[in-house]
Amino acid sequence: MLVREIGEFGLIRRLRDLVSRSDPRVTVGIGDDAAVVAYDGPIVMTTDTFVDGVHFRDDWIDRISLGYKALTASLSDVAAMGGRPGHVLVSLAIPKEERVEQIESIYRGMAEASDEFAVSVVGGDIVSTAGPLVITVTVTGVLMGAKPLRRSGAKPGDLVFVTGDVGGSAAYVRLMQTGSSFALAPIDRWQLQQRHTRPKPQIGAAEALVRCQGCTSLNDVSDGLSSELADISEASRVHLDIDSERVPILPAARRFARLAGQKPLDFALYGGEDYQLVGTVTPLAAGTLLPLMEAYGVRLTLIGRVVDGEQGVDLLSDNGRQALLPRGYDHFSTAGGNDAQ
Amino acid sequence: MLVREIGEFGLIRRLRDLVSRSDPRVTVGIGDDAAVVAYDGPIVMTTDTFVDGVHFRDDWIDRISLGYKALTASLSDVAAMGGRPGHVLVSLAIPKEERVEQIESIYRGMAEASDEFAVSVVGGDIVSTAGPLVITVTVTGVLMGAKPLRRSGAKPGDLVFVTGDVGGSAAYVRLMQTGSSFALAPIDRWQLQQRHTRPKPQIGAAEALVRCQGCTSLNDVSDGLSSELADISEASRVHLDIDSERVPILPAARRFARLAGQKPLDFALYGGEDYQLVGTVTPLAAGTLLPLMEAYGVRLTLIGRVVDGEQGVDLLSDNGRQALLPRGYDHFSTAGGNDAQ
């Protein structure tokens, strides 16, 4: 069935039913001029837009996962401020020939993510477009501590960490781009695909970082470590030394890199879309943080330190020290990064 | 200069400077993973998307006005809940060949509106698209009273009102569609254009409605009176009788209608984008509301009453009573409404 057969209002009714969820914080949900939601302190708010052909491709990600990922990518931004996401607005610009089932699948993925991460979709907008599908997700949430975790508080002496593993999403993109399966084990392929299509916002890790009282800067890995570390270095006006050996690259990404003749570290540094957290912590807090993270079921890896010196990031390896230049995805650069970012 | 010549991050820096504004409520503004804003009670939140060729056309609206209107249309949704808008996120999906100056103009319009209505742009997202320009504006705000003004509280005996004047925006669209200036006085043409390109969110009127304590339902006129009144009738499960003679049509729209052989009332009923408020009020509160509105500099017109009976809206005129069917813009209907909505 085409969207234009049931019309804007018919579609809104179907989508509302898909994401409806009991949430005592919501006074007014989908269906009035605006939503009304209970908050009683500072709010965290962020918005992210995903465009067909730019951020995703139908042959790389199914529509349910697309909805899941569009939502979790925005939740990740709230976590990266030390926030707990709570409520979501979804805006869709839909091609006129789009099928209702395709849009419903996106909402099924959003419903899945909203159940998993305890957020509610409370409103949105649906319009038509002559261009590709555009999804905009806005999330509000609360701060988990007294202050936000910004990018700008790193001090010399602090340690640099990253949560979970990185490089999996970029390895999947490369796998898709080459169009070859190499001799990659099905379980490895599945893991890469999961990292790309079902990213997990690190809300628990963010809570542990707030509780440890010593997290001095924080960012989520949406654009690749090189770019996120550069952000922290620039905002905090410090220099970062990163031990290349310590970067926790997903083993499946390492194995794929070997088969494909790629450098595994490049997936982590320049790939992005891992939605892990990267930041800095005081040495004192690191001691409490490691077991705390374990209690949250999150692996935390120390990958470097904050040092005196000019803004910038150096990568240390057996070959010595070299500058790590930020190279993420610029939406308007002609060079570009990934084909789909 | 093309956007791709300065890149995503160069553009963000320029736009940030354009909308930067001192606001003690903002802890973190543009430039981190998310914004952090002080609130201490329920928040109102809404999002609206505008697509080139669907919601606007470059030959009908200049880019500064486009930014102004995209922002004020969303502010209007907050006002329509009895809310005072406070903070804004802006997401743009931009064609690769877009000029920087064009995007800056949109932000200049947003800056103008944010000064005029005391809101701050605190973040957003900028991505590229192979399709038309897409603007998504999200607004948060506070409730001005203890409860939101919903669509669902109208009771038999209440009076139906509308603020300001209606029909001007739709008359301008029709004027543009015909491509003729008829013999329309320049001042009338200018007024129609202002109504279409510089809509004013009725925040003051919303505050008066909250203060009068007797506003039982509220909506903003984005889709035309017929559609907004039908919403109230449906949500409140009441019948509305509207006196066609009392609908406050902009005099310039009346004069244009006469010249163009159109029915002026049709502009008000089916046109939309007036961004006035329409709703219901108890007879007791109407007495306090009229002078209160005057104090806010807002004209309020009583146009009908809520009566017992089946859901629906009737239009009363010298020709008797006839059903007023909702006919706004459906984004996916093949019939469509305005060419640009």
Q: What is the CATH number of the domain that holds B105?
A: 3.30.1330.10
For residue B148, tell me if it sits in a domain: no
Cα separation, A286 vs A288, whole angstroms? 6
Distances (CA, A) of A250 to A7, A13, A159, A187, B321: 45, 41, 21, 13, 71
Mean per-residue pLDDT for B163-184?
A: 91
The residue in chain A having the minimum alpha-carbon distance to the alpha carbon of residue B341 is A127
> What residues of chain B lie within 8 A of the CB of A206, using their CB?
none
Distances (CA, A) of B126 to B10, B55, B134, B283: 11, 19, 10, 48
B138 in helix, strand or coil?
A: strand
Which residue segment(s) compose the domain that A41 sits in? 3-143
Weakest-pLDDT range from A88-97, A319-328, B136-145: A319-328
The verdict on B105 and B172 lying in the same domain is: no
Weakest-pLDDT range from A12-16, A299-303, B90-94: A12-16
For residue A235, tell me if it sits in a domain: yes
For residue B222, tell me if it sits in a domain: yes
Mean per-residue pLDDT for A186-195?
A: 96
The verdict on B163 and B130 lying in the same domain is: no
Say which residue the tokens 């593993």 belong to: A165
For B189, the enclosing helix (H) or strand (E) is helix B186-197
Q: At what angle do helices B186-197 and B251-260 cross, to 10 degrees?
A: 110
Taking one residue from A and the other from B, the number of pairs with CB-CB distance under 8 angstroms is: 251
Among B243, B69, B225, B249, CA closest to B171: B249
Please name the residues between 94 and 123 in chain B that touch chain A, using a CB distance below 8 Å: 94, 96, 122-123
The verdict on B190 and B272 lying in the same domain is: yes
Q: How far is A320 from chain B (nearest CA, A)?
A: 31
Q: What is the CATH number of the domain that holds B179?
A: 3.90.650.10
| pLDDT bracket for residue A195 (50, 70, 90) | very high
The verdict on A163 and A124 lying in the same domain is: no
**Partner residue facing A49 (CB), from B78, B123, B136:** B136
For residue B335, tell me if it sits in a domain: no
Which pair of tokens denotes residue A304?
């470097």
Is A332 at the interface with chain B, CB within 8 A? yes
Q: How far is A129 from chain B (nearest CA, A)?
A: 6
Which pair of tokens denotes residue B197?
């390109």
The verdict on A107 and A204 lying in the same domain is: no
Q: What is the pTM of this model?
A: 0.94
Is A24 at the interface with chain B, CB within 8 A? no
Q: Give the number of domains in chain A.
A: 2
Cα separation, B120 vs B26, whole angstroms? 8
For residue B73, tell me if it sits in a domain: yes
Is B307 at the interface with chain A, CB within 8 A? no
pLDDT value at A231 more than 90: yes
> What residues of chain A lie within 8 A of the CB of B219, using their CB?
33
The DSSP call for residue A261 is T
Cα A69 to the chain's mean position, in Å?
8
Global ipTM:
0.92
| Contact yes or no for A4 and B134 at CB 8 A | no
| pLDDT bracket for residue A10 (50, 70, 90) | confident
Residues facing residue B92 across a β-bridge:
B126, B135
For residue A167, tell me if it sits in a domain: yes
Is B11 at the interface with chain A, CB within 8 A? yes
The residue in chain A having the minimum alpha-carbon distance to the alpha carbon of residue B52 is A129
For residue A153, tell me if it sits in a domain: no
> What residues of chain B lie within 8 A of the CB of A6, using their CB?
332
| Contact yes or no for A47 and B143 at CB 8 A | no
The verdict on A235 and A205 lying in the same domain is: yes
pLDDT at position B329 is 64
Please name the residues between 55 and 74 in chain A that touch chain B, using a CB distance below 8 Å: 55
Q: To the nearest whole percent, how much of chain B has pLDDT over 90?
A: 86
pLDDT value at A338 more than 80: no
> What residues of chain B lie within 8 A of the CB of A94, using their CB?
331-332
For residue B330, tell me if it sits in a domain: no
**Partner residue facing B45 (CB), from A89, A218, A235:** A89
A279 φ, ψ to 5°? -175, -165
B261 in helix, strand or coil?
A: coil
